[in-house]
Structure 1
């Protein structure tokens, strides 16, 4: 596998050999004797750099140790080469703050992601265009809008539990959670309810899209990337058709701004003459990003909550009690409401602690738009900047006993040592931070709380695999998708 990866990297990035050396040469030319120096470290071999070492570490769930060894050797700021590009690794809360708030850095996505999600996606826009598209997406994701959708999410969760969990002795958690989050997104974002043919078609294409999202971007027959590109093209055509249908429905009064994400985006206009705020291409690209982003984070979070609770009976018992109290206050079959979610405080603390220990995103890249300085070093224009969530999440100076699962550390009323000292800003970065902080935090919270409400009340479970491990490829995936044995729970 590693040999084929090397070949593919060389095939798609051979020109980066020249970029690699030009970056060194150009940097030397720009620097005067008084200029700041480059960070310590090595760019390694052309094109390959340290990419294989990082990928191996992530797949063996030792990525945190890999990063920590670099920090121990070179410090909090060091240079290396990842995926054919000169890169600077930055570490710590101050470095996170620099990455999240610097106007001289733009988000840097792998070429495979850019090709699949579109050129006008929010992930690649900068400046005014980014603020405009993000503002449009945030309009749909405002709490005032989302509180209207709690009942619909509850309905999807009930159907999912009844159809995929009830009456079974064993299930595999991760694929089920991925299907649940897809169904919720298809319903709320695109108006595709249960049984819709377009929903099933989009589900099949979406699985192929995700299969090549992080693949080496070699556009050749029989590659995962080619299959992903073709599936993405079909998904985009489907979403473009939904966009035109929703536009017509809005014009004749058959849909409203709150019908779904597409209707919301179509309804937004600028401040100058009421022209549409987003083009059709931007709406489709935004919908593609929302589909991908909303799918992985929530499904991974819920999967790893199930994984942890299987070995933590005390926390699980406390969660069951929290949800039974909510259930007793409602009539049989009555849907959950926004007010019910506000009472699920322990459950969300468990979710936050799960995200601290197993953040869905290992790290991310930015691109330097100009020469910038950090801690006395220069980061040349065009270089990547790489930050990693686990650096602060697992720092004992920030989080007491970081290897322990302690949801109480997120309880502001707790008197435990875990919360005796508040974590500094930009140290808990499960959702990123700054202007590009994940706009779907509240959406993920609703999905998670609703699903866990039904899961902990209806079932007991235990892990089927004694080896409780996971790998990153690049998202965290538990061994065999986390198979568990389940049995009905008799409510008190």
Structure 2
């Protein structure tokens, strides 16, 4: 039986006893002592009940029970033994009994929790994980945990108690369990920086409503209209930053390219001071997404919070400007993502998505669209330098498409559909280097999983690469082999998850695919390159990045007399 089952009733009895003592004997001591002790015990029981529901321990309730026992013992001594010397004994008893109750309760709970240690409060294993990600040893760090504790273990990450799960069944559980059991609540650092109304945080009807609104712009049927705009941004970027250069560093250029595409297509922010200011604040903002949530002036988390506030201010001004343009009919509803979201109304002619939801989800799309595509394109360029045969096959496919285009003609949706081998190579690259390391969910209620208890309020942590590099799912997982994706149905469900899975699969999947294919088309048909850095080392922060940014020696295919796209 839990302590609150008797502390609350016993508290009521004490109050009643105090009243009886006062009525019958006129004892102020009985009334005061019984009343105080009873109220303390009821409050202790209430706190204990709240803690029990959260599967935690209330140390304040323990303190109240101790004080209550001391007060009660003193009253008894005054009334019956006429001495206060019993006070020390009362304190000892008052401390011993609640501690005994607490230990029994903790033992009962710990017997059902997964193995592992929660570590130091708030910090826990966060520093160890972040350090291993920085050193590109995160998978080994997790495998060491699995060897020590098994497939399910507990730890503390980013300020909250967490259960780490992995494997196909774990992925399915995370991606398909309904929102009444687990929610999309993210770590405090991510939630504080990206906002609490993005779809990473929403569940149930709110998630469905906002996701449907986003998909009205990001679905393939809508994106077909924007292939030409992406094509134009890619060619402008190559003209400004690649043509005529003998050496470039790929990663920062790819980040610039993807941010320009996002700014133009999703926000309608054209080149200029406004875009430059936004990109600077954005880069600083995303640096603290996976960080320990300690808000002090010298921490990365603090700097990211301040940058997030600046980004939100700029987006709020932009949203208000777009709303005015729509009202004045000077902007079309499908001009960009923001105007699209502002234009969606329900039957009562009310906006379906609030201004705050637009702001927070635009920030999420910025992060997802920027990091995913820039990392993927960077590693594809690295791959082509290391695997000449794969590069040649991709080039052949892209040249066939380029030959069908007239000078200056944009790529089309139909052209992208022909890039089948290129996308298989991209998917195998995503298997090797998933841009998203993993993710979090939060238990809405107590969950029995794998024979263990995941208490309500705890985080659930899953990692993308655990199935990607599992040799029982992908034979010879360390071998780069695009043919794995010849028949996508041969890959077991919930095993290839670079974009998540189930009803919560990333809504920007098709957008990232278009960005990648258009960029690769022009890169391979216009340039040859070789790596200038033999160091193949990369780290995660939290996306995988080559430590030196991938410097390459560049040459134009035009100069070599070979065919290059004139488009």
SS of residue in 2 equivalent to 1:292: helix
Distance 1:360 1:283, change over 3 A: same
Query: Aligned equivalents of 1:379 and 1:136: distance in 2?
Result: 33
Residues 1:406 and 2:507 aligned together: no
Query: Aligned equivalents of 1:34 and 1:179: distance in 2?
Result: 51
Residues 1:380 and 2:466 aligned together: no
Please point out which of 328, 335, 340 is paired with 2:415: 340
Query: Aligned equivalents of 1:202 and 1:169: distance in 2?
Result: 29
Matched with 1:249 is: 325
Matched with 2:212 is: 135
Query: Aligned equivalents of 1:375 and 1:229: distance in 2?
Result: 37
Note the C-alpha offset of 1:128: 1.4
Q: Which has the larger radius of gyration?
A: 2
Matched with 1:351 is: 426
Please point out which of 415, 433, 443 is paired with 2:511: 443
Residues 1:237 and 2:313 aligned together: yes
Query: Aligned equivalents of 1:230 and 1:448: distance in 2?
Result: 31
Q: Is the 8 A contact 1:23 1:86 kept in 2?
A: no
Matched with 1:7 is: none
Matched with 1:481 is: 549
Please point out which of 195, 200, 209 is paired with 1:123: 200
Distance 1:405 1:295, change over 3 A: same
Note the C-alpha offset of 1:287: 1.2
Matched with 1:430 is: 498
Distance 1:32 1:78, change over 3 A: closer
Matched with 1:472 is: 540
SS of residue in 2 equivalent to 1:86: strand
After TM superposition, the structure 1 = structure 2 runs for residues 197-212 of structure 1, keeping only pairs within 5 Å, are 197-212=273-288
Please point out which of 365, 379, 385 is paired with 1:310: 385
Higher relative contact order, chain-length normalized (CA < 8 Å, sep 6+):
1
Matched with 1:10 is: none
Distance 1:269 1:36, change over 3 A: farther
Query: Aligned equivalents of 1:204 and 1:32: distance in 2?
Result: 51
Please point out which of 364, 371, 389 is paired with 1:296: 371
Listed one character per residue, the Cα deviations across residues 184-219 of structure 1 (whole Å, up to 9, x for unaligned) are 00001111123x332222122212222333343333
Matched with 2:149 is: 74
Note the C-alpha offset of 1:173: 0.7
Cα RMSD, aligned residues only? 2.3
Please point out which of 145, 148, 162 is paired with 2:222: 145
Distance 1:404 1:85, change over 3 A: same
Query: Aligned equivalents of 2:403 and 2:190: distance in 1?
Result: 46
Query: Aligned equivalents of 1:384 and 1:203: distance in 2?
Result: 32
Distance 1:28 1:159, change over 3 A: farther
Please point out which of 197, 203, 221 is paired with 2:297: 221
Distance 1:228 1:52, change over 3 A: closer
Listed one character per residue, the Cα deviations across residues 100-147 of structure 1 (whole Å, up to 9, x for unaligned) are 111211123232222222232222122211111111111110111100
Please point out which of 102, 107, 118 is paired with 2:184: 107
Please point out which of 102, 118, 123 is paired with 1:43: 118
Q: Is the 8 A contact 1:464 1:485 kept in 2?
A: yes
Matched with 2:139 is: 64
Query: Aligned equivalents of 2:552 and 2:115: distance in 1?
Result: 46
Note the C-alpha offset of 1:175: 0.6
Q: Is the 8 A contact 2:158 2:189 kept in 1?
A: no
Query: Aligned equivalents of 1:434 and 1:243: distance in 2?
Result: 31
Q: Is the 8 A contact 1:431 1:438 kept in 2?
A: yes
Query: Aligned equivalents of 2:389 and 2:119: distance in 1?
Result: 48
Listed one character per residue, the Cα deviations across residues 327-348 of structure 1 (whole Å, up to 9, x for unaligned) are 0001011110100000011111
Listed one character per residue, the Cα deviations across residues 406-436 of structure 1 (whole Å, up to 9, x for unaligned) are 0110112xxxxxx8x9221100010011222
> Which sections of structure 2, spanning at least 5 residues, go unmatched?
1-50, 59-101
Distance 1:249 1:84, change over 3 A: closer
Listed one character per residue, the Cα deviations across residues 42-85 of structure 1 (whole Å, up to 9, x for unaligned) are 22343333223222221111111111222223222222222332
Please state which structure has a larger fraction of its residues in helix: 2
Distance 1:229 1:305, change over 3 A: same
After TM superposition, the structure 1 = structure 2 runs for residues 322-341 of structure 1, keeping only pairs within 5 Å, are 322-341=397-416
Q: Is the 8 A contact 1:36 1:378 kept in 2?
A: no
Q: Is the 8 A contact 2:254 2:378 kept in 1?
A: yes
Note the C-alpha offset of 1:182: 0.4
TM-score (norm: length of structure 1):
0.89
Query: Aligned equivalents of 1:360 and 1:92: distance in 2?
Result: 18
> Which sections of structure 1, spanning at least 5 residues, go unmatched?
1-18, 413-418
Distance 1:327 1:209, change over 3 A: same
Q: Is the 8 A contact 2:284 2:307 kept in 1?
A: yes
Matched with 1:182 is: 259
TM-score (norm: length of structure 2):
0.78
SS of residue in 2 equivalent to 1:108: coil
Q: Is the 8 A contact 1:336 1:450 kept in 2?
A: yes
Query: Aligned equivalents of 1:351 and 1:428: distance in 2?
Result: 13
Q: Is the 8 A contact 1:463 1:483 kept in 2?
A: yes
